[in-house]
């Protein structure tokens, strides 16, 4: 996640049952923190806490929709979807807590690449998009216990919601939040700034949307990763507008010299069809065509290689800084928790003797039985057993000779 321009200097600090220790983002909707929390068993785990800005949280309709969508998102359990595990209020602030993915969102990763003049290899770009499509396909097809489709649509598939980890994972976050933002409540412009650049034409026109709107957004991301620039270029550096999204004018992709490049371009342009009926009907259909091209072109990559590349290029400095803050935050839990040795006396006060309960005497009948079992077997009984064994061996030998 992107680092905020203005960092919260009052860190670490408590917020409900969390200790916030690093501000990792801030936008028109929320202030985002890396936090530590205690589990029911007394351990600690990291989480991302999104504090919804007061102007939004004060609206009852927005709060209601956000709560509904967060509950729905909490049902999603997939390797390419960020897990939501908490929603509540603390200090009169509405928040969502979710799984922490240690790495960058795609927007931040591309900015790092630009600043360091390190190109993102095409095989990793394709991996990011394919993993995103896997997460979308799972969410789009999810059903309830009665077997009815839940009709989940992300509505805000954009680089800031595609997270990449130093383990090479790719996870999609913030399912349903765009629906709350589109509730008609008094939403500030900065809360939806930048959304238009990845919005489908039907969404920009206010029409009903389905999974194909997410396919369009994935197509925009893939177009930009191949072209190396934003799809909609506003005049004098302005952000893409709703008019850009409604018109959906898609320039041709530049040639990059990839194997059978026209097939790749055809996949992108079908995902970006203005008419949803001409678009890929599902994320799975787009994923299958993309995978076929990747395999045929020999551009297949793995999460392991992607994670190693991320760590080598950008990870070390960020991890060192974050680990230092994390140790401080976890230390707050340790200060309030009694030591694990507090219930035990110090070593020099350990008792020298521990009393062991005496065994009660056995009844006479059991005593005799125990003595009989412990006494050695009579010699004559042992001799008889040996004699029988010898006779059995002799009989077997005679039978074989015959």
Domains with residue ranges and CATH for the chain:
13-332 (1.10.510.10)
Residue 310 has pLDDT above 80, yes or no: yes
pLDDT in tens, 67-108: 888 888 888 999 999 999 888 888 888 899 999 998 889 999
Name the strands in the sheet holding 84-90, side by side, starting at the edge strand that comes first in the sequence: 13-15, 18-26, 30-38, 44-52, 93-98, 84-90
**Residues assigned a catalytic role:** 156
Residue 55 has pLDDT above 90, yes or no: no
Quick check: bond before 60 cis, omega within 30? no
Q: Please tell me the predicted confidence (pLDDT) of residue 216.
A: 98
Residue 379 has pLDDT above 50, yes or no: no
Q: Please tell me the predicted confidence (pLDDT) of residue 62.
A: 76
Residue 1 has pLDDT above 60, yes or no: no
Q: Please tell me the predicted confidence (pLDDT) of residue 361.
A: 43
pLDDT band at 394 (very low <50, low <70, confident <90, very high): low
Question: pTM of the full predicted structure?
Answer: 0.76
Average pLDDT over residues 286-298: 96
Q: Please tell me the predicted confidence (pLDDT) of residue 25.
A: 82
Return the higher-pLDDT residue of 355 and 52: 52
């Amino acid at each position: 996640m992107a680092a905020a321009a203005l960092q919260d200097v009052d860190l670490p600090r408590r917020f409900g049952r969390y200790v916030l220790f690093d501000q990792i983002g801030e936008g028109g909707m929320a202030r985002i923190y890396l936090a530590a929390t205690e589990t029911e068993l007394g351990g600690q785990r990291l989480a991302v806490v999104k504090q919804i800005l007061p102007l939004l949280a004060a609206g009852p309709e927005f709060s209601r929709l956000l709560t509904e969508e967060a509950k729905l998102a909490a049902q999603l359990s997939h390797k390419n979807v960020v897990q939501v595990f908490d929603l509540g209020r603390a200090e009169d602030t509405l928040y969502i807590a979710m799984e922490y993915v240690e790495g960058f969102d795609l927007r931040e990763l591309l900015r790092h690449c630009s600043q360091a003049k390190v190109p993102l290899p095409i095989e990793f770009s394709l991996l990011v998009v394919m993993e995103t499509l896997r997460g979308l396909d799972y969410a789009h097809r999810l059903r309830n216990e009665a077997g009815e489709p839940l009709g989940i649509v992300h509505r805000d598939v954009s680089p800031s919601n595609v997270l990449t980890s130093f383990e090479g994972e790719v996870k999609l976050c913030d399912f349903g939040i765009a629906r709350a933002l589109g509730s008609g409540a008094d939403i500030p412009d900065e809360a939806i700034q930048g959304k238009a650049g990845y919005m489908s034409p039907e969404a920009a026109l206010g029409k009903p949307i389905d999974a194909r709107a997410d396919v369009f957004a994935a197509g925009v991301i893939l177009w930009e990763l191949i072209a190396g620039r934003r799809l909609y270029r506003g005049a004098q550096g302005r952000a893409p507008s709703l008019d850009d999204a409604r018109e959906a004018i898609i320039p041709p992709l530049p040639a990059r010299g990839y194997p059978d490049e026209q097939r790749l371009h055809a996949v992108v342009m079908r995902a970006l069809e203005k008419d949803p009926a001409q678009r890929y009907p599902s994320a799975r259909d787009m994923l299958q065509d993309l995978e076929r091209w990747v395999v045929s072109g020999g551009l297949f990559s793995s999460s392991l290689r992607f994670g190693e590349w991320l760590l080598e290029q950008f990870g070390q400095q960020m991890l060192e800084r974050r680990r230092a803050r994390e140790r401080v935050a976890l230390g707050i839990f340790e200060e309030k928790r009694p030591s694990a040795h507090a219930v035990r006396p110090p070593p020099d006060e350990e008792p020298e003797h521990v009393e062991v309960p005496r065994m009660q005497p056995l009844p006479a009948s059991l005593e005799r039985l125990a003595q009989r079992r412990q006494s050695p077997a009579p010699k004559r009984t042992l001799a008889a057993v040996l004699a029988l064994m010898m006779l059995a061996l002799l009989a077997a030998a005679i039978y074989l000779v015959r």
